[in-house]
Amino acid sequence: MVGSRHSTRHLLLTKCRLPVHYGRGVPSTLDDFWTARRLERPDLPVDMPEAWSFGATPEQADALLQLVLDGVKVGTASSLWDYEATGDPLPAVDELSIVTDGSDAPRAVIETTLVQVVPFDQVDADHAWAEGEGDRTLEHWRAVHEAFWRAHSEHPRGFAPGMPVVCERFRLLWPNR
């Protein structure tokens, strides 16, 4: 399993304002979700942040979101080449995001705390640990991310050992742990 923030990001942008019936007391639109968060936390900005999910499949989105909610996952990585291919802006420190589950339901609000672009083969063990996946080792991180980018990259180059990787750290703002 891998946690690229970017892989489903631009697809979600086209769907994020559609009303959906989520059940279990989850608001029916992102607008409702953001309004509820702002009532709880008036310090949040009026403008709703971007919404996206981790991974490339609903199953990955659900599993990786659960790691975030459990406080295990505090980092993610994306291919800089994919950002270039889609024209999406890179994440920025202090930027808020709404994280959705595999059904596109809003489930969390995170704040980016660090963004670094490093070659794939120079991503370190601390970042692998922060992503919280598998056994949290650098070896595991490299294996699953290489496989992920070979299968799901939005850029024709796909994967290369020296490819630029956007390493991001974040903190969970909502729900409170």
Tell me the per-residue pLDDT of 82-138, one tens digit each, with 9 for 90 and over.
Answer: 999 999 999 999 999 999 999 999 999 999 999 999 999 999 999 999 999 999 999
Q: Measured between alpha carbons, how far is 78 from 89 in angstroms, rounded to an integer?
A: 12
Tokens at residue 97, please? 């995001």
Q: Measured between alpha carbons, how far is 129 from 137 in angstroms, rounded to an integer?
A: 6
Q: Measured between alpha carbons, how far is 20 from 17 in angstroms, rounded to an integer?
A: 9
What is the structure's pLDDT at 105?
Answer: 95
> Mean pLDDT, the chain, as a whole number?
88
**φ, ψ dihedrals at 151, nearest 5°:** -90, -30
Query: Using 50, 70 and 90 to split pLDDT, how confident is the model at 154?
Result: confident
CA quadruple 114, 165, 4, 127: dihedral positive or negative? negative
Query: Using 50, 70 and 90 to split pLDDT, how confident is the model at 28?
Result: low
Q: Where are the domains of the chain?
A: 9-174
Query: Using 50, 70 and 90 to split pLDDT, how confident is the model at 3?
Result: low
Q: Measured between alpha carbons, how far is 134 from 117 in angstroms, rounded to an integer?
A: 23
What is the structure's pLDDT at 1?
Answer: 56
Find all residues with CB under 8 Å of 6, minimum gap 6, and list them.
Answer: 52, 78, 79, 82, 83, 86, 88, 154, 166
Which long-range contacts does 15-18 make (Cβ < 8 Å, 24+ apart)? 15/104, 16/50, 16/51, 16/104
Indicate the length of the chain as a whole number. Answer: 177
pLDDT over 60 (residue 13): no
- DSSP code for 114: E
What is the structure's pLDDT at 155?
Answer: 87
Find all residues with CB under 8 Å of 148, minimum gap 6, and list them.
Answer: 2, 4, 7, 56
What is the structure's pLDDT at 122?
Answer: 98
For the whole model, what pTM was predicted? 0.84
Give me the CATH code for the 9-174 domain, please: 3.10.400.10
Query: Using 50, 70 and 90 to split pLDDT, how confident is the model at 2?
Result: low
